[in-house]
């Protein structure tokens, strides 16, 4: 259940995020919402993510995503200056793209890591 609206929420497979990552996830999700990606665009970007290999391709992929999702441009400087953050960020973006590619109606919420 969505804690914001009480609506039905779906947990997508993939990485689990810590609770403190939720504001960032929601901020990035807002960028995707504002971009109004079509299902086809999201599927194209998801395919590019699934087939990329290595840091250089990841940097190029992020640049390509900014063309589709301009709001992501503000995250580029941080990700490019801290390479260790690039892979987890791409995972978060991939989760959001997968949700858009599947044309889900309900809002997406990241799976949270267990505290055990």
Whole-structure pTM over 0.75, yes or no? no
Q: Decide: 17 and 25 in contact? Cβ < 8 Å.
A: yes
16-74 pLDDT tens trace? 777 888 888 888 888 888 998 888 888 888 888 888 777 777 788 888 889 999 999 99
Scan for tokens 């990241």, then name that residue. Answer: 110
At residue 85, φ and ψ (nearest 5 deg) are: -90, -10
């Amino acid at each position: 259940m969505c804690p914001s609206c009480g609506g039905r929420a779906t947990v997508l497979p993939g990485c689990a995020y810590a609770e403190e990552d939720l504001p960032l996830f929601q901020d990035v999700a807002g960028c995707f919402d504002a971009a109004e990606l079509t299902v086809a665009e999201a599927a194209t970007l998801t395919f590019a993510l699934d087939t990329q290999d290595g840091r250089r391709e990841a940097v190029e992929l992020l640049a390509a995503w900014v063309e589709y999702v301009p709001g992501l441009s503000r995250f580029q400087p941080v990700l490019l200056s801290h390479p260790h953050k690039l892979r987890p960020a791409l995972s978060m973006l991939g989760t959001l793209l997968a949700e858009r590619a599947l044309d889900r109606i309900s809002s997406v919420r990241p799976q949270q890591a267990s505290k055990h």
